[in-house]
A and B are shown apart, each in its own frame.
Chain A
């Protein structure tokens, strides 16, 4: 089921940080991973990823460096920083708590 725009926007940061925890990556690969892992539930306009990545960089959660693609093009890679790991853990806990709360509040009474 496709998620609402608000949920997609709110989950973007932990998802990107989580993907970068697996290893350095670049925009196109991140988008492809999100698409594959979510089975199409997360529909991002590809270009919207970049302002988010730049924001994460500004916040000191990720750092960028330039490399080269197989075809020889300039390619910008992103690496998760220690502060990003801490933030990812904080957001993961917040999401878990929210999920548990929603389950409790909306679950059927026994």
Chain B
């Protein structure tokens, strides 16, 4: 078993977007190394030690949620849109032909463009128009993200 690789892989489940999270990955990685070293000293083999240490850390999905709470509003919105985008694209790719999928994406783009024009016409004040676009864009994506989260398999409880 390549322990370093396994630890790094586990940490990246908690912080999937690498570059800005390298420091947080290094911190989690140090913790796992400490725990695994202690377990190895108690007589566990590498595989057992890794399994026990990661179990004590908690479920990566729940830890990722906790870390997300610390992010800025913009970072949280970007993440939500990213998740919702995947939730939207997976069924489109699975169920539709490439031509139909392109049509759906074109429709979504036209909807967004229409929304921008409409907001500019209805709300000439720039700030209010921006808020309207953000709300109209973000709310459906947020709902999609929540829906995809509900469908995702859970990995157990992280405890307190």
Nearest-neighbor residue (CB-CB) of B54 within chain A: A47
Q: Is A69 a contact partner of B30 (Cβ separation < 8 A)?
A: yes
Q: Is B66 a contact partner of A8 (Cβ separation < 8 A)?
A: no
Q: Is A44 a contact partner of B35 (Cβ separation < 8 A)?
A: no
Q: Is A55 a contact partner of B30 (Cβ separation < 8 A)?
A: no
The answer to whether residues A47 and B160 also contact, given A71-B33, A73-B33 and a CB cut-off of 8 A, is: no
Q: Is A28 a contact partner of B160 (Cβ separation < 8 A)?
A: no
Q: Is A47 a contact partner of B35 (Cβ separation < 8 A)?
A: no
Number of interface residues of B (CB under 8 A): 25
A72 to B131, CA, bound (A): 49
| Chain A binder among B21-29, B86-94, B108-116 | B21-29
Binding site for B on A (CB under 8 A): 5, 8-9, 26-28, 31, 42-48, 50-51, 54-55, 58, 69, 71, 73-76
Rounded to whole Å, the gap between the CB of B48 and the closest CB of chain A is 17
The answer to whether residues A8 and B31 also contact, given A47-B14, A50-B67 and a CB cut-off of 8 A, is: no
Q: Top 8 nearest A-B pairs by Cβ distance? A: A45-B58, A47-B57, A51-B66, A45-B159, A45-B158, A28-B34, A47-B58, A8-B160
Rounded to whole Å, the gap between the CB of A8 and the closest CB of chain B is 4
The answer to whether residues A5 and B160 also contact, given A48-B63, A48-B66, A50-B67 and a CB cut-off of 8 A, is: yes
A26 to B29, CA, bound (A): 13
Nearest-neighbor residue (CB-CB) of B160 within chain A: A8
Q: Is A73 a contact partner of B30 (Cβ separation < 8 A)?
A: yes
A51 to B26, CA, bound (A): 14
Binding site for A on B (CB under 8 A): 14, 23-24, 26-31, 33-35, 37, 56-58, 62-63, 66-67, 69-70, 158-160
Residue from the list A9, A50, A69 in contact with B28, Cβ < 8 A = A50
A5 to B34, CA, bound (A): 26
Nearest-neighbor residue (CB-CB) of A58 within chain B: B70
Q: Is A48 a contact partner of B70 (Cβ separation < 8 A)?
A: no
Q: Is A46 a contact partner of B160 (Cβ separation < 8 A)?
A: no
A43 to B58, CA, bound (A): 12
A5 to B58, CA, bound (A): 14
Q: Is B30 a contact partner of A76 (Cβ separation < 8 A)?
A: yes
